Structure 1
Amino acid sequence: MSDKSPEQKIILSADSTCDLDAELKERYHVHYFPLHIILNEKDYMDNVDITPEEVYQEYYDHKVLPKTSAVNVEEYIEHFRPWVEAGCEVIHINLGHALSSSYQNCCIAASELGHVHVVDSCSLSTGTGLLVVAAGKMIAEGLDAETIAEKLRKRASNIHASFVLDTLTFLHAGGRCSSLAALGANMLKLKPCIEVNNHDGSMGVGKKYRGSLDKVLVKYVKDQLSKYADIDTDLLFITHSGISQEYIDAVKKTVDETMKFKEIHITKASCTISCHCGPNTLGILFETK
């Protein structure tokens, strides 16, 4: 018999970088905490008072890219405190620890407050979002917070997140790629696939595609879906940083023709993700069993 009192609730919280759409956020009652975007010495809240389009425009106009900043310990404490004081348990799912110190800061806040169960997604964007949705389902099933958090930590290595970049300009501007590599890739029309390491959230370059974006995206989708024998077909995300509808439609059509998923959600990446990748970045994100 559970010792959880009937009125005790489990609150589901996540870094805003999980990039869920409004429907899923509402369905699973997800509370976001936005990361910081610092542009021209002004501090913005990611996807609250600044958009990826504004970030791109500032780069085009003035060659200035924002810096991203983790959520600090005190901010997490203030975020969680009202729920803990109300007798709730909190599950919070973070951006992968290799990408941000938010996870470490969240752990410190949780140890101070108690009753907060922190999960390192070891991923980014809707790779994190897949774990948020899984948590929402388990909460609905009545599992306790500690059990849910432990299951999520084990599932992190089943999450597969990757993106195709249309240009290396933004990676280069952010210091994540040499000018020679960026110039060479852009001249050769190379579109690298960036793959997320699902053990820490770090990013590495996978296959380098050549050609027009429409053809590259179709090939990329087929490659990713044929790469794993045991894909969980409950949910797939198509996540982009701002791209025309024709590319999204082509990707969704390719997914539908290749494999049947119960749900496909198309979402837009937060500024934290988009400012490093630039416009016309698109990825498919899914889980294996």
Structure 2
Amino acid sequence: MRRIILTTESGADLPKDTAEKHEVQVVPMHVIMDDKDYLDGTLAVQDIYDYHERTRKIPSTTATNAHEYEHFFKRIKADYPGCIIIHIGYTSKASSSFQNALIATENLDDIILIDALNVTGGLAAIVMYAVDLLEKEPAIEPENLVGKIESIIPKSRLAFVPGSLEFLKAGGRVSNLAYLGGALLKIKPCIELKNGKLVSTKKYRGKMSAVTEKLLQEYLNQYDIDKGQLYLLYSIGLDESIKDRMTAIAKEHGFKNIKWMQAGAMISTHAGPGGFGVAGIER
């Protein structure tokens, strides 16, 4: 029986201890700050926030390139001779990373690439679904595993709100006028993944404590999420009392396995501090 190795990108925000426990191999994306290129995971998120505080700018981010992918996959092949790699990748609709993986594997065998059409916790939910399948059925045929993973990709649901519009403005994602209007009215956009693309679907008004509660309640009422696992996402700066309330709401809806995940440097560069999100897989 040939061993199956699951891989993904750092943009999944899969906690390091979780990745290590389940032997998921993670390839880093990039954060560029002050003209220096950092591998995602080597730059403290707080450094990004401090940089924005000093300069009113945000770092830029880039995808894992084809050369890095080739080295990544070859290293795994060397560490696990004869293995089959199933790579669950960051959405191709928001990054060139998946295309670079395709280029890197043109001349490599036994590597299956899956476009998860999702990011951060939505991508992590798909990866962990694959982990659970593989741990329950270690002798599963790769084709069967891939089929099951692909079947739940349309069912992975992600929604989040940024803590403020500052980082969206700094990154050119909202105009100055929209920023000023949003700041004055305390409006926060809800961002969801639709067909692999990040889309603003609705707007919430008020303090973050009220916004997060409304987002989570509406999300859980709208989607019939599998009660086996719910992923709650945050970026540094989200108040602990809000996290406690979100956990309580999730439990009220019948979720027993609730996993909090912190946004890494790459995702935080776009979302900013104090953000909140939720991800899960529909039944």
TM-score (norm 1): 0.92
Indicate yes or no: 2:114 matched with 1:130: no
Please, which runs of 5 or more residues in structure 2 have no aligned partner? none
Instruction: Provide the rounded CA distance (Å) in 2 between the counterparts of 1:112 and 1:181.
Output: 48
Residues 110-129 of structure 1 aligned to structure 2 (within 5 Å): 110-129=105-124
Instruction: Provide the rounded CA distance (Å) in 1 between the counterparts of 2:115 and 2:243.
Output: 29
SS in 2 for 1:111: coil
Question: Cα distance, 1:208 vs. partner?
Answer: 1.0
Indicate yes or no: 2:152 matched with 1:161: no
Indicate yes or no: 2:66 matched with 1:69: no
Indicate yes or no: 2:230 matched with 1:236: yes
Letter of the structure 1 residue corresponding to residue 19 of structure 2: K
Residues 17-56 of structure 1 aligned to structure 2 (within 5 Å): 17-47=11-41, 49-56=42-49
Q: Deviations over 1:188-243 (max 9, x none)?
A: 0012111111x22x111122111111111111111100002x32111111111112
Q: Deviations over 1:87-111 (max 9, x none)?
A: 1100111111111100011122222
Contact 2:189 2:201 in 1 (8 A): yes
Indicate yes or no: 2:180 matched with 1:187: no
Instruction: Provide the rounded CA distance (Å) in 2 between the counterparts of 1:19 and 1:153.
Output: 20
Question: Cα distance, 1:26 vs. partner?
Answer: 3.0
Tell me the equivalent position of 1:3: none
Q: Percent identity?
A: 32
- Taking only aligned residues, the RMSD between alpha carbons, in angstroms, comes to 1.4
Tell me the equivalent position of 1:213: 208
Q: Deviations over 1:80-139 (max 9, x none)?
A: 113335111001111111111000111222222121111111111010001111111222
Q: Deviations over 1:225-263 (max 9, x none)?
A: 0002x3211111111111221111111111112x11231
Tell me the equivalent position of 1:83: 76
SS in 1 for 2:227: coil
Instruction: Provide the rounded CA distance (Å) in 1 between the counterparts of 2:264 and 2:77.
Output: 28
Indicate yes or no: 2:51 matched with 1:58: yes
Aligned residues: 278
Instruction: Provide the rounded CA distance (Å) in 2 between the counterparts of 1:165 and 1:64.
Output: 17
Indicate yes or no: 2:178 matched with 1:178: no
Instruction: Provide the rounded CA distance (Å) in 2 between the counterparts of 1:149 and 1:37.
Output: 30
Q: 4+ runs of 1 displaced by more than 4 Å?
A: none
Question: Cα distance, 1:154 vs. partner?
Answer: 2.3
Question: Cα distance, 1:23 vs. partner?
Answer: 4.2
Contact 1:21 1:265 in 2 (8 A): no
Instruction: Provide the rounded CA distance (Å) in 1 between the counterparts of 2:105 and 2:143.
Output: 13
- Stretch moving more, 35-44 or 17-26: 17-26
Please, which runs of 5 or more residues in structure 1 have no aligned partner? 1-5
Tell me the equivalent position of 1:104: 99
Instruction: Provide the rounded CA distance (Å) in 2 between the counterparts of 1:188 and 1:83.
Output: 51
- Stretch moving more, 76-85 or 56-65: 76-85
TM-score (norm 2): 0.94
Contact 1:159 1:286 in 2 (8 A): yes
Tell me the equivalent position of 1:150: 147
